[in-house]
Structure 1
Amino acid sequence: MKKQSVIFRRHVFLFAVLLLFSSCMLYGKSKLIEFSNLPEKAQTYIKTHFPDAKPLKIEKEKDGLSVKYEVELDNKIDLDFNSKGEITGIDGNSELPDSVIPKEILDYVKKNYPDNYIMDWHLEKKTQEVELNSGLELKFDLKGKFLRIDK
């Protein structure tokens, strides 16, 4: 009886390991893709707002049922797109083009922080956030109304 119990525990352990391994394989998969494999909307966005930049690396990430794309440009700007090719985040090391910032947010920053510029922009479920070159993080609602300073 003791021998059967040990064998059973080993089988349960092996099953748990296989289940964990399978879960890891299903979630968090990413692979490099070509520019032409990005959703059309993302391709158009890059060509419109960053016409002189070249993509260095494009990753398609699957996390469960969701898909997102991360694009690294040669001008040190990283772009995040959702599965539909809609922009969800922009990280830069210098000033972002005005054309990528929602007008209400851009106007607010230019009026209230005239000596600063926007380096990062991120869209969350209910908010938008920008980071200024001073390190200050500003939160806005989805319509671009200022909510608060985060840092």
Structure 2
Amino acid sequence: MKRIILLAITALTMTFTFTAKADNSKPVRFENLPENSQKFVRTHFKGTEISYIKQESDFFLWKSYDLFFVNGSKIEFDRKGNWEEVDCMRDEVPAAIVPAAITTYINRNHAGMKIVKISRNSKEYEVKLNNGIEIKFDKRFNVIEYDN
């Protein structure tokens, strides 16, 4: 009996492992993005040409979206269409998406630098400056990590 249970657990583990590693991405059209993703792009990246968009599904069939622009910038959206990461390469991310407390901190402590990448999750924000410095903030916008 133990052998059968062990075999079943092994089979399930292998199934999840191979499913997770499979390429579960496909191209999608702008119109197939969640509405709030479309609005975000129209608001903050108006006039920026889109190269392609891909939808990824994990083994729980949750979807996420990666949008790539011709200029190299990239936006990652979660399954609900909320932005998780905006990477503008060398260009500045739109000021309107950066929380005011982070902008104040950067202006005060890194005058003249611009934020070229920002990411967020339920616990923290992370920004990358054009000089390569990366700074993590908690949800109260206290600096929790500094990497240069």
TM over 0.5: yes
1:86 equivalent in structure 2: 82
Give percent identity, aligned residues only.
30
| Residue-pair matches, total | 135
CA contact (8 A) 2:53 2:66 kept: yes
Residue 25 of structure 1 deviates from its aligned partner by: 7.8
Q: Residue 61 in 1 paired to residue 64 in 2?
A: no
Task: Structure 1: give runs of 5+ residues left out of the alignment.
Answer: 1-15
Distance 1:84 1:122 in 2: 16
Equivalent residue, structure 1, for 2:38: 43
Quick one: distance in 1 between partners of 2:147 and 2:20? Answer: 36
Q: Secondary structure at 2:39's aligned position in 1?
A: helix
* Residue of 68, 89, 92 corresponding to 1:95: 92
Structure 1 residue 139 corresponds to structure 2 residue 136 = yes
- Structure 2 unaligned runs (5+)? 1-10
Q: Distance in 2 between matches of 1:71 and 1:50?
A: 11
Q: How far is the alpha carbon of 1:21 from its aligned partner?
A: 10
Q: Contact 1:31–1:61 at 8 Å: present in 2 too?
A: yes
CA contact (8 A) 2:16 2:59 kept: no
Structure 1 residue 71 and structure 2 residue 67: aligned?
A: yes
How far apart in 2 are the matches of 1:21 and 1:137?
34
**Where does structure 1 differ by over 4 angstroms across 4 or more consecutive aligned residues?**
19-22, 25-28
Q: CA RMSD for the aligned pairs?
A: 2.3
1:76 positional shift: 2.2
Contact 1:28–1:64, Cα closer than 8 Å, also in 2: no
What does residue 148 of structure 1 align with? 145
| Residues 9-39 of structure 1, C-alpha deviations (whole Å, 9 max, x = no match) | xxxxxxx7xx659943885400000000000
Aligned equivalent of 1:119: 116
Worse-matched range after superposition: 132-141 or 116-125: 116-125
Seen in structure 2, the aligned counterparts of structure 1 residues 142 and 56 have a Cα distance that, compared at 3 Å, is same
Retained in 2: the 8 A contact 1:54–1:74? yes
TM-score (norm: length of structure 1): 0.79
Secondary structure (helix, strand or coil) at the match of 2:66 reads: strand
2:67 alignment partner AA: V
Quick check: which has more Rg, 1 or 2? 1
Report the Cα distance in structure 1 between the residues aligned to 2:46 and 2:88, rounded to whole angstroms.
16
| 1:95 Cα offset (Å) | 1.4
Using the alignment, how far apart are the partners of 1:138 and 1:20 within structure 2? 38
